[in-house]
Amino acid sequence: MTDTAPMDIKKIWQIIIRRQYLFIAVSLAVLSVIVWGSFFIPEKYEAKSTVFIEQSAIKKLIQGTGRRSREEDSLRGLKYTMLSRKVLLKVINEMDLDVMARNDAEIESMTEKLAQNTNITASTKEDIFTVSYKGKDPAIVQEYVNTLVEKYIETISSLKKEDAFGASRFLSGQIDYYKDKIAAIEGELADFRREEGIYLAIDESALVRSMTGYKEEIEDVEMEIRNLKAKKKRIKQQLSGESPFTLALIDINRGDSLTARLKALEQKLQLLLMKYTENYPEVIKIKIEIETLKKLMDAEEANGGDGANPYSNLSAGMSMANPIYQQLRENLLNLESEIDSLKAKKETLGNRIKRSENELKNIPENKKILTNLERDRGTYQTLYEQMLAKLGQAEVNEQVEAQNKGEVYKIIERAVLPRRPVSPNRVMLILLGIFGGIAAGIGAVLLMDKNESSIRDIDTLKSLLGIKVLAVIPAIVTENDIRRKRKIDRRVYAFSIFYLLIIGSVFINELINRFF
């Protein structure tokens, strides 16, 4: 393999030498087409402007200190806004480019071309973006970039203010909407609870516990009723053995006065009240005697105090209400009242048990309705609170934008008049033409050699015919032929060198213009 490559290169070189005129012609032709063709390509100039987006301290406090992704978020919105039809039409009107258009179709075509040739790049580390544009006229290119940046800053500032105001109005409307929703769902909940008698969240276990408690209370009430009925029975038995009235005896043989008797009874009453209550039978009896004596004393005063015996018109005794009977009667009435109260309580507890049983039967459906209503209320309440919080932030943002305290767009570098075209790059095209011409020349001579059918060496003849070569007749070249060939070679070489010198001078000139 190490010997094959040099032999191949040597063979190619021999072919080039043998067909040098073809090689030179094709190489110079390709070089000429590329080099001189580059001068027919329209020159384009590029202008650039750099803008810095500065966030104020107030804006950072509102939105947080986290830096936004310029590559994912702002760059896409930046390109869309800056290259929008609205902004480009403002630029066209500002530069009076619309006078060059004859109709709306040409204006639309002009906006499309401007958008296609405008390039916007942004830094991912800093809030900086660059706007560049390529065109044929350097003055128009410069004016277009500067006007585009200015109109974009005006438009984006106006849009931010409108967006801030619109956000506040939208959120206010949403808050009113969800407030009405919450009020409506609260009304539905209240109506449902009132119709179904549900004032707390339905809980099966709580209902079962309450029913169990009601039943236990009913058992206690029934037991108490039975006890009271037993007491009632005993009191009735006692009442059957007592008379409603009794005879209060007054000792008429004694010579005591009514006043002395009254005092004695009153003293005895005080002693009894120290030990017993006023419902004690003996106490009641003494009170009745005291009342009887007071009546007798009143009767004596009515007779004028003539000294007549106050007992002369009375029998030896006086009929009066039996205190024991009255006490038993009063106890009986209290027992009956207490029994009626307990029966009412039992009935109320029974009604509560029935209502709880009905609620327990309807729990699946009621609970589903109640759960849905409460879930809707919770959802609307959450949205309402979120909207309320966002409204506060939107109102602050509205004030920030209204006072121009938000993002500030600063033009760091305005577009300057370009002095040199950025395309076509004739330095690269000339180098491309040189290498392309050489490659084309080599390709042409190899293709011509491959398609040639003549035999030029003995080895090829032996391999093709398979016979021995007896003799070789060499080519006969005269002195005139040699002189004529040398003369042609000198002319071809001289022309080629001269032509290459011209290309070289053009290359050096373009190199100086581009870099120096």
3-state secondary structure 134-147: EECCHHHHHHHHHH
Has residue 513 got a pLDDT over 90? Answer: no
Write the burial class of residue 400 (CB in 10 Å: 0-12 exposed, 13-18 middle, 19+ buried): buried
Mean pLDDT, residues 183-210: 68
- Evaluate whether 204 touches 434 at the Cβ level (below 8 Å): no
- Considering only CA atoms, which of 182, 123, 165, 113 is closest in space to residue 144? 113
Contacts with 38 (C-beta within 8 Å, 6 or more apart), sequence order: 424, 426, 429, 430
- When comparing pLDDT for 158 and 66, which is higher? 158
- The predicted structure's pLDDT at residue 75: 62
Helix or strand holding residue 359 (H, E): helix 323-402
Has residue 502 got a pLDDT over 90? Answer: yes
First to last CA, the chain: 48
377, amino acid identity: R
Any idea which residue has 């032509």 for tokens? 499
- The predicted structure's pLDDT at residue 461: 66
Tokens representing 282? 């003996």
- Considering only CA atoms, which of 207, 257, 507, 193 is closest in space to residue 357? 207
Rounded Cα distance between 487 and 293, Å, is 185
Query: Per residue in 217-253, pLDDT tens?
Result: 888 888 888 888 888 888 777 777 666 655 454 444 4
- The predicted structure's pLDDT at residue 315: 41
- The predicted structure's pLDDT at residue 448: 84
Q: State the sign of the Cα–Cα–Cα–Cα dihedral 140, 145, 147, 151.
A: positive
Give the lowest-confidence range in 200-204, 246-250, 264-268, 312-316: 312-316
Has residue 84 got a pLDDT over 50? Answer: yes
- Evaluate whether 207 touches 363 at the Cβ level (below 8 Å): yes
Buried-exposed string 448-476: b where 16+ CB fall within 10 A, e elsewhere = ebeeeeeeeeeeeeeeeeeeeeeeeeeee
Mean pLDDT, residues 262-291: 79
Has residue 344 got a pLDDT over 50? Answer: yes
**DSSP state letter for 405:** -
- The predicted structure's pLDDT at residue 205: 67
Give the lowest-confidence range in 68-77, 155-164, 329-338, 342-351: 68-77
Tokens representing 91? 């630029």
Write the burial class of residue 297 (CB in 10 Å: 0-12 exposed, 13-18 middle, 19+ buried): middle
Mean pLDDT, residues 151-158: 82
Rounded Cα distance between 266 and 293, Å, is 11
Residue 501: band (very low, low, confident or very high) from pLDDT cuts 50, 70, 90: very high
- The predicted structure's pLDDT at residue 269: 81
Highest mean pLDDT among 347-356, 357-366, 471-480: 347-356
Highest mean pLDDT among 4-18, 22-36, 87-101: 22-36
Tokens representing 120? 């916007």
- Evaluate whether 221 touches 345 at the Cβ level (below 8 Å): yes
- The predicted structure's pLDDT at residue 436: 92
- Evaluate whether 310 touches 299 at the Cβ level (below 8 Å): yes
Query: Per residue in 453-491, pLDDT tens?
Result: 666 666 666 676 667 776 677 777 678 878 888 888 899
Rounded Cα distance between 56 and 404, Å, is 10
Contacts with 466 (C-beta within 8 Å, 6 or more apart), sequence order: none
Residue 284: band (very low, low, confident or very high) from pLDDT cuts 50, 70, 90: confident
- Evaluate whether 13 touches 91 at the Cβ level (below 8 Å): no
Cα torsion through 355, 356, 360, 365, rounded to 10? 50
- The predicted structure's pLDDT at residue 305: 55
- The predicted structure's pLDDT at residue 126: 61
Length of the chain: 516
Residue 359: band (very low, low, confident or very high) from pLDDT cuts 50, 70, 90: low
User: Which residues is 120 bridged to in the sheet?
Assistant: 131
Mean pLDDT, residues 131-146: 89
Residue 32: band (very low, low, confident or very high) from pLDDT cuts 50, 70, 90: very high
- The predicted structure's pLDDT at residue 403: 53
Task: Provide the mean pLDDT of the chain.
Answer: 76
Query: Per residue in 379-430, pLDDT tens?
Result: 878 887 887 877 776 666 666 555 555 567 788 888 888 888 888 888 898 8
Helix and strand counts by DSSP (H, E) for the chain: 14, 6
